[in-house]
Chains A and B, each alone.
Chain A
C-alpha cells in the first residue's frame, strides 16, 4: 500500500511579509515549521503504516530548498521517503498551479492508494489545494476528516461538518484532508531521527514532472493579486481610560443603553 502525505512548510510566527508589488508571500528559511494540520496528516499515515506491514509512506512538499528541513522532519516522524518539488518554475503558483504540480509528482510515483493532507495551511488558509490535487488526479476526495478507518479496499471517513458528522465510504485511491480532531500529532523517534540524517531527499523540478511550463508558477495561475493593503477598519471610537473608578464603565453602560443593545 502506497501512502503519500503532503507537507507544507509554513512560517512559525505570524510575521510573514508580502511583496507589495506582486502580493506574493516572501518566505525565508528562518523560523519555519511543518504546517500543524500536515503533522496530523503525517501522524495518521504513520498510524496506518504501523498497523500493517505493506505500507510505503512518502512525504512530498513543494517549496524553496529550505523545505528540505520539513521533509527530514517528516522522515524523523515515520515517513519512509521524501520528495521536494522546488525551482523557480514553480514560483508564484496559486492553488491551481500548486495542485497541478503536486498531482504530477504523485502521478510519477505510480500506484498511490491513499493521499493525506492537512485541511488547510496556516499561511494561505485557502484549504483548496488538497481537493484540487484530487481533481487533477481524477480520484475521489473527502474533506474535513476527523476519523479514518482503513478497510481492505476502501476507507471509511468521518467528516466533521456543520451540525454533525457524515460517514462516507470510498474505495482506493482516495485523497483525504484532515482536521485537528483526527489525532495528536506524533513525535520524531530515535530511529526516525537516524534515518532522517541519512535519507536522500530528491529535489524534483519540471524536468522530472514534464509539464507544459505554461501551466506552472505565476504564469500558470488563473488568479492574480491586484493589491495588498492594510484594511481600513476604523470606526469613530469613544475612548476612555480605566482610572480605578466605575466612571468609564458607567459611561459604557449609558452608551450601550443609548444604542439599545442592552
Chain B
C-alpha cells in the first residue's frame, strides 16, 4: 500500500449528534474522550455537528471543544448516510484530523464505516478505552473481543485518520465551564455535497419501548442463573422495591425472559448507575463491557468462581432464590421506616 504522510494530520475530531436541532448528550461524553486525547497529544479538539439550525452550540465549547464545525444544511436535518458521509469526508479533507471518534449509536455506527472505507483507513468499533501511546503518539483502541473473556487493543499505524466508535454512557459527560472560549465555524457546502438518492420519509417515536435503563440510578440485572421466566420475576421484584431499572444478559433476553431494551453489554446497552446488582449472572466480558463502570457493584451468584465477583464491591456466594427474597424483605423494612 502506498504510505501516506502521517505528519500532515493533526487534531482530534469528535462527531456530535443532534435530533430536531437539539444537541444529544452523547456529544458531551465524546468531548470527555476527545479532550483527554487532545490533551495527551497537545493538539486541538474539534467537534463536528451536522444539521440545520442547532440550538446552544456554545455549550460544546463550554464542555471542552476548542472548535466547533457546524456543517449546516436542511439536507442534514435528519440522518441520511450519504449526505453525512459526504459532508464529513469533505471536512476531513480540509482539516486532516489525526483521530476521529464517534459514538457507537445507530448513526455513528453507520457513518463511520462509510467514512473509513472512503478514506481507506482503519476503524475500531465499540471501544471501551482510548489512550495515546506515549512513544509513537498512536491511538490505542481497546475493545472486548469475541464472545469470551478477552480484550483486544487495536491500532491503525500507517493510515490516517485513526477512527473509533465508543459506547454511549461509557464516559461521563464533560462538565460545562462557561469561561471556556473557542471558535464556532459554520460550514455551508454547495448542494452537490448533500445530493442523495435516499429519501427520508419520517421519524416515529417508539412509545412502547420507553425503557430507559441508561438513566437509572440503580439497576438490578439477571442472567441465566435466574433459571426461568418465572425465576426472572425475582429480578423485577427487587428492582421494584428499589425503584430500579431492570437489566439482563444476552442469554436472558434470548431465552425470552425479558426484552431487548433491557439487554446490557456489548450487544445491548452500556450503563453506569450508582448501584448495579447482578443476580445469577456469571459476568462474561460481553456483559461486563456494559456495566463495569458502575459506581458500586453487588453480585449474588452460587458459583464462587464467577467472573462477576472480580468486578464486584460486595459479593454473596449463594442461591439467588434464597438470598434475594431476604434482600427484598430487608429493603422493604428500610423503605417503610424511611
Contacts and interface: CB of A to CB of B under 8 A. Distances in A.
Interface in B103-121: 105-107, 109-110, 112-114, 116-118, 120-121
B188 interface: no
User: For this complex, into which size category does the number of interface residues on chain A fall?
Assistant: 35 or more
Given A125-B126, A132-B113, A166-B200, A224 B267 contact: no
A123 B147 contact: yes
A110 interface: no
B199 A242 contact: no
Contacts of A126: 124-126
Q: Which of B85, B113, B304, B331 has the most CB of A within 10 A?
A: B113
Interface in B209-226: 217-218
Nearest to B206: A164
A214 interface: yes
- Chain B at the A interface: mostly helix, strand, loop or mixed? mixed
A237 B310 contact: yes
Nearest to B160: A222
A207 B160 CA distance: 30
B274 interface: yes
Contacts of B106: 143-144, 159-162
B150 A142 contact: no
A225 interface: yes
Interface stretch (A73-81, A184-192, A251-259): A251-259
A109 interface: no
Contact of B116 (A96, A167, A171, A257): A96
B118 A237 contact: no
A25 B275 CA distance: 35
A223 B141 CA distance: 10
Contacts of B81: 131, 140-143
A158 B293 CA distance: 33
B158 interface: yes
26 contacts: A14-B147, A23-B154, A96-B116, A126-B124, A128-B116, A132-B117, A142-B198, A143-B106, A143-B110, A166-B203, A167-B200, A167-B201, A169-B201, A170-B198, A237-B310, A238-B315, A239-B309, A239-B315, A241-B316, A242-B316, A249-B330, A250-B330, A253-B327, A255-B313, A256-B314, A262-B331
Interface of A: 11, 14-16, 18, 23, 25, 94-96, 99, 120, 122-132, 134-136, 140-144, 156, 159-171, 214-215, 219-231, 233-242, 244, 246, 248-250, 252-253, 255-257, 259, 261-262
Give the 3 A-B residue pairs with the shortest CB-CB distance, closest first.
A242-B318, A222-B122, A135-B117
